[in-house]
Structure 1
Amino acid sequence: MYSYSLQIQGMTCGGCAASVQRKLDALEDIVSCEVNFATETARIESQEALKPKQLIDWIRSFGFSVQTDHQRFQATDDRFDQASLDLILSTHPEVVSYQINSPLKTLDYTTLPDANDRDLQNQLTHQGLVKATHQDVAIDRTSTTDRTHVWISGILALPLVLQMIGMWFGSSWHLPVIIEWALATPIQFWLGYRFYQGAWAASKRGEANMDTLVALGTTVAYCYSLFQWATLGQDAIGHLYFEASAVVITLVLVGKAIEAKAKHSALESVAALFALKPKTVTCLRHAQEIELSIQELVSGDVLIIRSGERIAADGVIIKGDAEIDASAMTGESIPEYKVTGDSVISGTLVVNGTIR
């Protein structure tokens, strides 16, 4: 059984995640899959090995994209055998795409974020290449942009809301129609453009999602207000729904900003837990202690964890005893005493003792 994890980009609601999972389940090559909207990930299992590019092409055909990692290597001397490099990269199962630049003596390739490309990097090193130390890093400004859009939308919608609140107290004050239109239009077609994008993408898939609902509802309110204005002129004051479309979009943007902040905090906590896992581990193979990367471990390996080291994988103690600090996982501040036959959790710390 082969397992793959993908970071899917472009999902806007739980309906998008359900759509991706339904379409993945329908593929003959996939045994099972689980798509999580909160973490924007897809866990896929298959009987046969699948190429990353094939997985990405499937997701793209559904109208979404997959996050990839980019690596750059450059030659340190005159050795730069393009034919050999092309053969290495084209046959490596983890490579999604690559580009070789002979004049600059550089090569770039992309993989999935959790791909084990250590052997590939070793092959490139043997070819006389080194990993570039200064690479362009894409900065995710999505959260900052979302917050800015929320503030702009809120400021534009505020006058429309104030006149609506005034009606509750018997006030007949209304903004001029042209002012209402000027305040609502940028919210509808600039700040709300993402909903039209999402609705269009869903319609191409023959589906409807939350973006469809928001785009359809606010567009009807906006267009009906334009119709009232065109037919009644200034008499349309009090019979317009510009504030309805503006407030709906503003509230949805606020909700998405809160959701993004909560998701970011949760992912940071999960990342902090993953950071506790050691990058290398001492493994007992063929009666010899060897150091392996965490990606090289297989089920059934015997690990040796000494005092002061963290446990690299979930397992069962087969020899030794130790006091283990599991506070990062369980919240219990007092170390637990573990003996042969007890289960241990990845990321916990051996305070005292040695175990296998």
Structure 2
Amino acid sequence: MKSRTYSVTGMSCAACAKAVEKALNKNENINASVNIATEKLNIEYDEKKYDFEKIKNIVQLAGYGLLETLNEEEKVKMHEEKVKSLKNRLILSIIFVIPLFYISMGHMMRLPLPDFINPVKYPLRYTLVQLFITLPIIYAGRDFFIHGFKNLIRKSPTMDSLIAIGSTAAILYSLYATYMTATIDPEYHMNLYYESAGVIITLILLGKFLEIRTKGQTSSAIKKLIGLQPKKAKIIENGAEKEVLIENIKVGNIIIVKPGEKIPVDGKVTSGSTSIDESMITGESIPVTKNIGDKVIGGSINKNGSIQFQATEIGKNTILSQIIKLVEEAQGSKAPISRMADIVAGYFVPIVIFIAVISGVAWYLSGAGLTAALTFFISVLVIACPCALGLATPTSIMVGTGKGAENGILIKSGEALETAHKIRTVVLDKTGTITKGKPVLTDIRTYGRYDKNEILKTAASVEKHSEHPLAEAIVNKAEEMNIEFKDYDKFRAMPGYGIRAEIEGKEIQIGNKKLMNSRKIDLSESESDYNLLSNEGKTPMFISIENELAGIIAVADVVKETSKEAVNKLHKLGLKVIMLTGDNEKTADYIAKKVGIDSVISEILPYQKAEEIKKLQSQGEFVAMVGDGINDSPALAQANVGIAIGSGTDIAIESADIVLIKNDLNDVAGAIALSKATITNIKENLFWAFFYNVIGIPFAAGIFYVLFGGPKLDPMIAAFAMSFSSVSVLLNALRLKLFKVAG
């Protein structure tokens, strides 16, 4: 089965999306899902049986269009054209609806009318003027009639069908009244509905215009990300600067970036130093210092230094392109909570038509008359709104995933966004997640006549050419303190013990207890220091000079500065926090205590991590796993929600549902809090969409009028209410933009 994403055109509401899904899914070996908010079709199909043209043909037979996936610029252009077209039709409609409304209703409010269309003196002129003014409005709203009746004939009625039926009923009755006025009874001019049809079309156009404008705001995160990439870059070719289009950059090109310019692609600094603002990509507000050898991210902004860097990733392989792809996929996906709204939307329009017919017939048979029956019939059709139901979930997901992306939290799907709010237990890997994942020198203890600088200088000089990670930590500390290294002779590595060398004729040994004991070196003076450092989860190494204990150097994978704060935030969300590590129990317990973790599972092998997650799930726990390494990927996949630290391996990131670009554990709490806020927003939208229809339809049908003697609902007010319901759902979704992820 092949998976693809296409753009669907011509949809106006959730019922349209359902019609496209229905048309595709009734074919064998096709699994289709349509998102009304993004207007995207996500489809899986057997590529031996289907291709784009066949799928396009199925969609066209259902009454809609299908386009190959558009790039962001094409989508923006298409959206702008849609907005412009709707705006022009809305303006045309408003120009004619104002005089239409004035002519039809003005005399009731004792407003003056020109004498030649006075309804008392010239009733036929009065009706004909309204007819001719209504025609341009019908033209402006022609799409409602074209799509509405087409879908009705195909037995897949949509929101457009409701508007088309309601408006047509009003127009046909008005034409009948015009005929009666001209031929039989001049008093029939009192039964005109031209203004209702005109105002309904205008208000629906206004609602659609506001809806599409607001929809544009919900996907602003992707537009911002797209806008980060410059169009051109300067490369060095044959020793000279040359400006090229970004798509012509090749891996290995040396690129020059000056202060204030954007980094065009991913790469590694080869010359110069600077600080770079990566906030739009990582969410990290503080500029990051970059020196030779450091990585730079395409789309970030060079602040204050000129640099040259070598392009390492271009096109779709850059971090920015991958982020855009992830956000687009997430915004186009559906959350499980949307299924209920989809099911309702699929049956909604036929049910509304049935209710409208029943209410109209019932009122007519009750003796209310044809005019009253028609009023109720049109009001029910116009007030019903599957748009609000259809937009309730996808718009919140679009804004929620976009908000996450702006803050360095990449949520891969609507399902992941929804599932995250159910988490009750967070399991954290230790190395690289709670800790920095890189050993650093933490302590130096000295004995006898030696001082700390001398011990560090001696140890670093011996360890300089060792490939052991602990040796690297000692050498890095010495370089950081600008310590000058000594020359050594007779270097010897002793696996399982340590190393031995000579410096200035003196024998130096660095290693564990076994090495010191084998050389019969007295360690009694250092025993309390050794035990204390070991209990703190550090790795102590003894150093002896001329067979005499000179000091202890302790190295540890230190806890990240943000880890304790992050665990506190998870506790505030009511979550249980567990550490899962292959490290020894003593080290694991010390680190867990330091950051406030509830419980520890230690000394497990990489393949056992997924089994431990399974055990927790079997106990009824809803688990999030947070990790960064290849050995974490099975556990990330097993967990209900897998969260990968962004600096981790590609495999870990691929296995995860959520990726934290900033490598900051605080964002775990941020992602869960964002999920909770998004789900709350979706539930609010669904509640108001259902509540609106539960109240609005009976009100339009006249039930409240029968029971309580309340007012009848004019079709024009119904049209306004319908338009407002969709816009209100979108505006509520946009409130998520105010959510503070770091809060």
Structure-1-length-normalised TM-score:
0.58
- Is the Cα contact below 8 Å between 1:7 and 1:66 reproduced in 2? yes
One-letter code aligned to 1:17: A
Aligned residue in 2 for 1:240: 192
Alpha carbons of structure 1 residues 2 and 332: separation in structure 2 relative to 1, 3 Å: closer
- CA distance, structure 2, for counterparts of residue 182 and residue 15 of structure 1: 33
Judge conservation of contact 1:59–1:66 (CA < 8 Å) in 2: yes
Q: Is the 8 A contact 1:308 1:349 kept in 2?
A: no
Deviates more, 1:10-19 or 1:336-345: 336-345
Q: Secondary structure of 2:191's match? A: coil
Asked if structure 2 preserves the Cα contact closer than 8 Å seen for 1:9 and 1:40, the reply is: yes
> How far does residue 5 in structure 1 lie from its aligned partner after superposition?
0.1
Q: For residues 205 and 273 of structure 1, do their structure 2 counterparts lie closer, same or farther at Cα, with a shift above 3 Å needed?
A: farther
Q: Deviations over 1:152-192 (max 9, x none)?
A: 2112111232356546746696662222122112212x112
Aligned to 1:73: none
Distance in 2, Cα, partners of 1:172 & 1:26: 60
Q: Which of 160, 164, 172 pairs up with 1:223?
A: 172
Corresponding residue number in structure 2 for 1:107: none
- Are the structure 2 counterparts of residues 66 and 262 from structure 1 closer, same or farther at C-alpha, using a change threshold of 3 Å? same
State the shift of 1:47 in Å: 5.7
- Structure 1 or 2, whichever has the larger Rg, is 2
| 2:60 matched residue in structure 1 | 60
Q: Tell me if 1:25 matches 2:13.
A: no
Question: Are 1:183 and 2:182 an aligned pair?
Answer: no
Between stretches 6-15 and 21-30, larger displacement belongs to: 21-30
- The structure showing larger relative contact order (alpha-carbon pairs under 8 Å, at least 6 residues apart) is 2
Change beyond 3 A, Cα 1:269–1:243: same
- Aligned residue number for residue 41 of structure 1: 40
Q: Would the aligned equivalents of 2:3 and 2:44 in 1 still touch at CA under 8 Å?
A: yes
Match of 2:204 among 216, 236, 252: 252
Rounded to whole Å, the distance in 1 between the matches of 2:65 and 2:151 is: 14
- Equivalent position to 1:154, from 94, 99, 110: 94
In structure 1, how many angstroms separate the alpha carbons of the residues matched to 2:37 and 2:78? 22
- Establish whether residue 266 from structure 1 lines up as the match of residue 342 from structure 2: no
Contact 1:5 1:44 in 2 (8 A): yes
SS in 1 for 2:4: strand
Question: Which residue does 1:198 correspond to in 2?
Answer: 147
* Residue 122 (structure 1) aligns with: none
Return the offset for 1:244: 0.7
Describe the shift of the 1:138–1:349 C-alpha distance in structure 2 as closer, same or farther (beyond 3 A). Answer: same
1:51 Cα deviation after fit? 2.5
Letter of the structure 1 residue corresponding to residue 210 of structure 2: I
Kept in 1, the 8 Å contact 2:100–2:130? The answer is: yes
The CA distance in 2 between the partners of 1:327 and 1:243, in whole Å, is: 43
Kindly provide the CA deviation profile for residues 284-340 of structure 1, in whole angstroms up to 9, marking residues without a partner as x. Answer: xxxxxxx9xxxxxxxxxxxxx9532263657xxxxxxxxxxx99725489xx99955
**Cα distance between partner residues in 2 of 1:63 and 1:170:** 47
Please state how far the C-alpha of 1:28 moved relative to its aligned partner.
Answer: 1.4
- Name the count of aligned residue pairs: 251
Inter-CA distance 281–4: structure 2 relative to 1 (3 Å threshold)? farther
Match of 2:81 among 121, 135, 141: 141
Instruction: Point out the more displaced range, 47-56 or 21-30.
Output: 47-56
* Cα pair distance change 1:337/1:253, threshold 3 Å: farther
Indicate if the aligned counterparts of 1:29 and 1:48 stay in contact, CA closer than 8 A: no
**8 A Cα contact 1:309 1:349, kept in partner:** no
Q: Is contact 1:5-1:41 (8 Å) kept?
A: yes
Specify the SS of the correspondent of 1:207.
coil
TM-score (normalised: structure 2): 0.30
- Distance 1:177-1:201 versus aligned 2 partners, 3 A rule: closer
Partners of 1:17 and 1:37 within 8 A in 2: yes
Does structure 2 conserve the Cα–Cα contact (< 8 Å) formed by 1:309 and 1:350?
Answer: no
- Aligned AA (2:178): W
What letter matches 2:127 in structure 1? V
Q: 8 Å contact 2:103–2:130 — kept in the other structure?
A: no
Partner deviation per Cα, 1:40-87 (whole Å, 9 max, x = no partner): 10111246565222322222232221124xxxxxxxxxxxxxxxxxxx
Give 1:307's aligned residue. Answer: 295
Q: Describe the SS at the equivalent of 2:155.
A: coil
Q: Distance in 2 between matches of 1:262 and 1:25?
A: 30
| Aligned residue runs from structure 1 range 273-284, under 5 A | 273=225
**Cα RMSD (Å) of the superposition?**
4.1
Q: Which runs of 5+ in 1 are unaligned?
A: 69-111, 115-136, 283-290, 292-304, 315-325, 352-356
Quote the offset at 1:204 in angstroms: 4.1
2:177, 2:188 within 8 Å by CA — same for their partners in 1? yes
Could you tell me whether the CA contact under 8 Å between 1:5 and 1:42 is conserved in 2? Answer: yes
How big is the shift at 1:237? 3.1
2:206 and 2:174 mapped to 1: Cα distance? 24
Is the Cα contact below 8 Å between 1:225 and 1:242 reproduced in 2? yes
Q: State the partner residue of 1:51.
A: 51
For the Cα contact (< 8 Å) 1:56–1:65, is it kept in 2? yes
